[in-house]
Amino acid sequence: MYKKFALGLFAATFFCSSSFAQEVTLRAVTAFAEKTTYSRGFEKFIERVNADGKGLVQINYIGGPKAMPPFEVGNALKTGVVDIANTTGAFTTNVMPESDAWKLTERPMSELRKNGGYDYMAKLYAEKMNAIFLARLVDNNPFHLYLNKPISAPDLTGLKIRITPVYRDFFQALGATVVQTPPGEVYTSLERGVVDGYGWPITGIFDLGWHEKTKYRVDPGFYTAEVSVLVNKTTWDKLSDAQRAVLRKAAERGEAEAIAEFDAENAKDTKRQADAGIQTIKFDGAAAEAYRTKAYQAGWDGIIKQSPEHGPKIREFFSKK
């Protein structure tokens, strides 16, 4: 697979060193399984580009984690092994630690594009990942803790929980022992009892059958999931204005649709989980408030520790407090 990528890259560099005069085909990967919740927005984006971009720009969808491990996508994009990627900040912290901060946004992208928050992050993506942050396709979609052992207070002492960087600081602050895995290893980890629970958003647990191995969901949720389309900047710089316009148009539509789309999806999957027999462990009132406050506190502490230079600035743009 990688050899094929590398040859393609060589050919692209050799034959079109300055710009893509004719129709160009861009290679795309997604960090989430194909045709599942967190790839769907990207697949719609690709359809729109391929419909609109005839004679200008086309996307060759190589696929998901079977083609490339999720935690390698950031580096593959940076080095130009792929031209476009659908991924989340938690999967690209090896290239840019600040990317995981999107989970802490308390303002929609429409506002962040005006208040300087988008520009600040876009500059970091360009500098650290050689990437254009084109569009956020997932927003308004809280994360939750899912468990197979009941808890009566927000205390995870003695429990082993599957994480990504999204949940690490918060679940550790609650006393958990954490184990990082890509989504593709969650099912077997639950099945073998390697973990007692996992972090994941409110939507998507049915995609890979995890509902079969899940007893409880803890409410309330916390943060908001982010999945976005990134473009290799070297590739982007070679595109014509017309080619970029095709990508921008599909990106803007996708980003504009995300909030309403996830309003509907969140409600749908909440009901589906209840129907599947997943019980809720619910913290109310002051306990819920304390749980969420702790989540954001631990989250920001983690980002600022990873990036003392940019973390505090990003917090000013993203946070309500």
Q: Which residues bind ligand 173 (CB under 6 A)?
A: 38, 88, 90, 164, 166, 183, 199-201, 225, 227
User: Which residue lies nearest ligand 173, judged by its C-beta?
Assistant: 164
Considering beta carbons, is residue 40 or 238 the nearer one to ligand 173? 40
Considering beta carbons, is residue 117 or 199 the nearer one to ligand 173? 199
Strand partners, 29: 63, 85
Considering beta carbons, is residue 30 or 88 the nearer one to ligand 173? 88
193 phi-psi bin (left φ>0, alpha ψ -120 to 50, beta other): left
Minimum distance between the CB of residue 212 and ligand 173, rounded to whole angstroms? Answer: 18
Minimum distance between the CB of residue 165 and ligand 173, rounded to whole angstroms? Answer: 7
Considering beta carbons, is residue 142 or 154 the nearer one to ligand 173? 142
267-274 long-range contacts, CB within 8 A, separation 24+: 268/203, 269/202, 269/203, 269/204, 269/205, 269/206, 270/202, 272/206, 273/205, 273/211, 273/217
Minimum distance between the CB of residue 237 and ligand 173, rounded to whole angstroms? Answer: 28
Minimum distance between the CB of residue 11 and ligand 173, rounded to whole angstroms? Answer: 33
Minimum distance between the CB of residue 56 and ligand 173, rounded to whole angstroms? Answer: 31
- Residue 222 tokens read as 């916390």
Cα separation, 9 vs 7, in Å, equals 5
User: Which residue in the block uniquely carries the two structure tokens 């194909």?
Assistant: 34
- Residue 254 tokens read as 């996708």
Residue 296 · residue 104 · CB < 8 Å = yes
Considering beta carbons, is residue 224 or 235 the nearer one to ligand 173? 224
